[in-house]
Structure 1
Amino acid sequence: MPLTVLFPMPALWPEWQAPLTAALAEGGLDARLAPEADPATVDYIVYAPSSPLQDFTPYTRARAVLSLWAGVERIVGNETLTMPLCRMVDPALTEGMVEWVVGHALRHHLGMDRHIVNPGHVWDPTCPPLARERPVTILGLGELGAACGQALAALNFPVTGWSRTPKQVPGLTCLSGPEGLDRALSTAAILVTLLPRTPGTENILDARTLALLPEGAVILNPGRGALIDDEALLAALDAGRVGHATLDVFRVEPLPGDHPYWTHPRVTVTPHIAADTRTASAARVVAENIRRGEAGEPFLHRVDRVRGY
């Protein structure tokens, strides 16, 4: 009997039906992908927080819930979800994030804005320092943070990575814990935030930690909007403590039209485009996890419920 793979997201069904069906077939899986099914027959659930499915209690047969999103903060606390939960780590999503982070890091490092937007036709031949003279700090050393850090290190930026628990990433100076955080921030001419949203990371950039940054530091936040205390960041920008903030994620999205970020001269808003799940490659990740589940192998990217990611 074929496996039943439930895809309970009507709005996403037209986009995902073909690539997921193809990925399941390519993986040699005898599986039926369905937008609706009797809960008692469902073997796997492919999921995103936008799904109307919120009560997992009837799905007693399901072996795992496979998220299409990298962030799982909107589902990890669901008490009815007792089966394994896996987050999405999509190779193409990682590529997109690396491109966004490297692009904006180079933009600020080279001072491109003053040449691209130069209504006064000011001739300013000031050259930037070399990359090896511009320290970068990455907060978060998961798949995305490690990849971005290594890409910047390959361009000769000295990169410090910080995580809550000790990690080692080749090419990066790795720090951890509260003291490590303060040290990592103190050298960050460019700061990139790629932490998950958890109770321990919310407002990790507040008035105290922002004050640790070197004068004029640049902040890039493609991680989670709640990592930053918005009022504290605006105050630091107004005071010149922070030179610029390029922000891709926000507590409320779309960002309200009257939010101060839109008009602040030291803020760039990008509309949550730093990285996106790509259907073709992400579908293969889902299919591989189903293959692993059927083979009795460990799931990829299984969420630690205690840590929240």
Structure 2
Amino acid sequence: MPVNVLFSARPALWPVYEPLLTRYLAEAGVEARLGTEFDPDQVDYVVYAPNGGLLDFSPFTRLKAVLSLWAGVEKIADNDTLTVPLVRMVDHGLTQGMTEWVVGHVLRYHLGMDRHITIQDGVWAPDAPPLAQERKVCILGLGALGEAAARALASLNFTVTGWSRTAKDIPGVTCLHGPDGLREALSRAEILVLLLPDTAATENALNADTLALLPKGARIINPGRGPLIDDDALLDAFNAGQVGHATLDVFRVEPLPPDHPYWAHPNVTVTPHIASETRPATAAQVICENIRRGEAGEPFVHLVDRALGY
């Protein structure tokens, strides 16, 4: 008997995903029917994005799992009507894209590229940057994305410290955890990268107190989640000279409102949530692998801990 897979995401994505899901499910040996409309009590799996409009899962009495197309699950993790396993998106295309973006902006800060690009006054002022091993980079959050970025930066010989809620072991990276570890990690962070999930425990992780722990003039890169930063505290830290510059890709409100002070602030680079995105070709493989696992009675990969929110 075929499994029924409901695609609940932006309608424009269905023509992109339908042939990919069909192909990879067939290759996995899973007989399936795919569509954007089913009677709820006939659905076995939901391929899901929050912007697809589905909010109430209670009619889906046969549902085995919800398979998210997004890495972040903060918009669904606390949905009381969802009682089946929830799986978040972790795929190598998304991971590679994030790693490339993070490494690019770390190198931009490390090499002083902004200063060199904007010098147009004819003044010859050679000032070579230090080598990477003399530059201290800290990554908050050592999940799949944070670990990949940490490994890539370590391979370039940056002195990399990583912090996570629980202990991790990554070759070439000094891994810290817990409250004391967070203070130590921040104290080392000439360049700080935020790749924490968005949970109640991580909201305003960068606030007046934690920003004060950074080395004076530190640079901040946030491709993680907007609520990780207390915006008022960051603006105050710029004005006090505590933080030198920030590159921000994610915000509490998106698109970033035209009157937001970040747009015009000389110490901020705004990028429009482009650090990474779900790539259909690789995401479809992950979705289909989890459907195969569900049908074979194997554990799902990238299962969300609903209590932790990620």
Identity of aligned residues (%): 68
The residue number in structure 2 matching 1:101 is 102
Q: Identify the residue that residue 2 of structure 1 maps to in structure 2.
A: 2
Q: Which residue of 2 aligns with 1:250?
A: 251
In structure 2, the partner of 1:140 is 141
Query: What letter matches 1:278 in structure 2?
Result: R
- The worse-fitting range, judged by mean Cα deviation, of 154-163 and 23-32 is 23-32
- SS where residue 253 of structure 1 aligns? coil
Look up the SS of the partner of 2:51 in the other structure. Answer: coil
Q: How many residues align?
A: 309
Task: Give the whole-Å Cα distance in 2 for the aligned partners of 1:216 and 1:19.
Answer: 47
**Which SS does the other structure have where 2:289 is aligned?**
helix
Equivalent residues in 2 for 1:1-309, closer than 5 Å: 1-9=1-9, 10-309=11-310
In structure 1, what residue type is equivalent to 2:115?
R
In the TM superposition, residue 22 of structure 1 has moved relative to its aligned partner by 2.0
Deviations 1:143-198 (A, max 9, x none): 00000001000011011100111111221111111111000000100000000000
1:80 and 1:170 map into 2 onto residues whose CA distance is 41
Partners of 1:111 and 1:14 lie apart in 2 by 43
Give a deviation string over 1:254-299, Cα, whole Å, max 9, x none. 1111111111111000110001100000000000000000010000
Compute the displacement of 1:8 (Å): 2.2
- Structure 2: how far apart are the matches of 1:20 and 1:124? 56
**Take 1:126 and 1:238, find their aligned partners in 2: how far apart are those partners?**
26
Instruction: Spell out structure 1 runs of 4+ moving beyond 3 A.
Output: none
Q: Distance in 2 between matches of 1:15 and 1:257?
A: 32
Q: Deviations over 1:56-109 (max 9, x none)?
A: 001111110000000000000000000000000010000000000000000000
Give the partner amino acid of 1:4. Answer: N
The CA distance in 1 between the partners of 2:149 and 2:94, in whole Å, is 12
Q: Equivalents in 1 of 2:15, 2:124: separation in Å?
A: 52
Deviations 1:22-51 (A, max 9, x none): 222222211111100011111100001112
Distance 1:126 1:292 in 2: 55
Q: CA offset at residue 15 of structure 1? A: 2.9
Q: Give, in whole Å, the separation in 2 of the partners of 1:75 and 1:264.
A: 34
Shift of 1:20: 1.9
Alpha-carbon deviation of 1:134? Answer: 0.7
Structure 1 gap ranges (5+): none
2:281 partner amino acid: A
- Aligned to 2:238, what secondary structure does the other structure show? helix
